[in-house]
């Protein structure tokens, strides 16, 4: 066991416990807070994978924007559920079983696949992924089209969210 | 070092938990939270494959950035739908939103 492996195991344990709390905890505000913990642990996993920029984006976009949006939505719609009574529908046990079966199936396939025990190649010295990413996203021979499509999608989603949530009666 | 399979199994577990949340929760906001967990699992997979197969090709990270953008759009529209629905029908429970049933 190297220190990196121990760090990975601790982080992934915290990630999975947080994710489990997100899907099972009764109070939805608490679920949103557990979601923040899950997203933060995912950022740590990105750091372990040498993707520091993505970790920063994860914290800024996911925790800073999406999780806060979730907390707003929970608080705006909270009176209905009152956080009592069962939060799961009648299929709870079947869904749990099939999720477990899915996990077991994926793990079984992974263990049978030879490439899954590969070690990471040495990270190339002097490789600046942030610059590469920035150049790639605006390079006409690179990813400028997906980048622009994502921009238009975000604009459309912004306008769509305003229109959908508009209270026309007031 | 950490073998690739550890990351993939972590992502599989996270995806299964997200699927469980999506299929078993009653509250529409909680269903969206499950979708977020699944998208995060996909992101972990994408970054792990980028790191383990070709760190000098940036395409793996670009995929992840696009997934970030799509999930931000999805959450914005989804939560707007939930809030609009709550205003009109006073419910956020997915089972009660059955206007379109056959």
Collapsed DSSP state (helix, strand, coil) of residue B25: strand
Find the mean pLDDT for residues B24-31. 88
pLDDT surpasses 80 at A106: yes
pLDDT at residue A116 tops 80: no
A6 lies within 8 A of chain B by CB? no
**What's the CA gap between B89 and B67, in Å, rounded?**
32
pLDDT, mean over chain B: 89
Bridge partner list, A88: B25
Q: How far is CA A48 from the centre of its chain?
A: 16
Residue A39 touches partner B, C-beta closer than 8 Å: yes
Q: Which of A41, A38, A27 is nearest to A71 (CA)?
A: A27
Q: pTM of this prediction? A: 0.90
Closest-CA residue of A relative to B95 is A89
Give CA–CA dist A80/B40, Å, rounded: 29
Residue B64's pLDDT band, with cuts at 50, 70 and 90, is: very high
pLDDT at A149 over 60: yes
Tell if the CB–CB gap between B25 and A106 is shorter than 8 Å. no
Confirm if A53 and A129 have CB atoms less than 8 A apart: yes
Q: How far is B88 from chain A (nearest CA, A)?
A: 10
Q: What is the ipTM of this complex?
A: 0.91
- Residue B66 banded pLDDT, cuts 50, 70, 90: very high
Is the per-residue pLDDT at A126 higher than 60?
yes
C-alpha–C-alpha distance, residues B39 and B33, integer Å: 10
Cα R_g (chain B), whole angstroms = 17
CA–CA distance, B54 with B47 (Å, rounded to integer):
10
Q: For B3-23, what is the mean pLDDT?
A: 92
Q: Check CB contact under 8 Å for B1 and A160.
A: no
Which domains are seen in chain B, by residue range? 4-93 (1.10.287.3510)
Q: What is the pLDDT of residue B41?
A: 95
Spatial separation of the C-alpha atoms in residues A54 and A65, rounded to whole Å: 15
Q: What is the pLDDT of residues A43-93, one digit of tens each?
A: 999 999 988 899 999 999 899 989 999 998 888 886 655 566 666 777 778
Q: Say what percent of chain A tops pLDDT 90.
A: 45
Distance in Å, alpha carbon of B99 to nearest chain A alpha carbon: 17
Question: Is A96 in the B-facing interface, judged by CB distances under 8 Å?
Answer: yes
């Amino acid at each position: 066991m190297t220190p990196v492996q121990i760090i990975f195991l601790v982080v992934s344990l915290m990630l999975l416990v947080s994710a489990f709390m997100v899907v099972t905890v009764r109070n939805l505000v608490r679920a949103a807070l557990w979601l923040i913990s899950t997203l933060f642990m995912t950022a740590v996993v990105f750091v372990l994978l040498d993707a520091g920029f993505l970790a920063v984006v994860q914290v800024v976009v996911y925790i800073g924007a999406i999780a806060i949006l979730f907390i707003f939505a929970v608080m705006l719609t909270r009176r209905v559920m009152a956080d009592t009574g069962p939060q799961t529908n009648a299929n709870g046990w079947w869904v749990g079983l099939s999720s477990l079966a899915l996990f077991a199936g994926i793990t079984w396939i992974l263990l049978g696949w030879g490439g899954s025990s590969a070690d990471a190649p040495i990270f190339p010295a002097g490789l600046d992924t942030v610059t590469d990413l920035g150049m790639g996203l605006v390079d006409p021979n690179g990813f400028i089209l997906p980048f622009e499509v994502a921009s238009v999608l975000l604009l459309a989603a912004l306008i769509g969210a305003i229109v959908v949530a508009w209270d026309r009666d007031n | 070092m950490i073998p690739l399979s550890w990351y993939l199994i972590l992502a599989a577990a996270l995806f299964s938990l997200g699927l469980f949340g999506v299929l078993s929760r009653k509250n529409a906001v909680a269903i969206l939270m499950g979708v977020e967990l699944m998208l995060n699992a996909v992101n972990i997979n994408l970054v792990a494959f980028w790191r383990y197969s070709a760190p000098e090709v940036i395409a793996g990270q670009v995929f992840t950035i696009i997934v970030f953008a799509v999930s931000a759009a999805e959450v914005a529209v989804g939560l707007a739908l939930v809030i609009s629905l709550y205003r009109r029908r006073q419910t956020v429970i997915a089972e009660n939103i059955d206007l379109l049933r056959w």
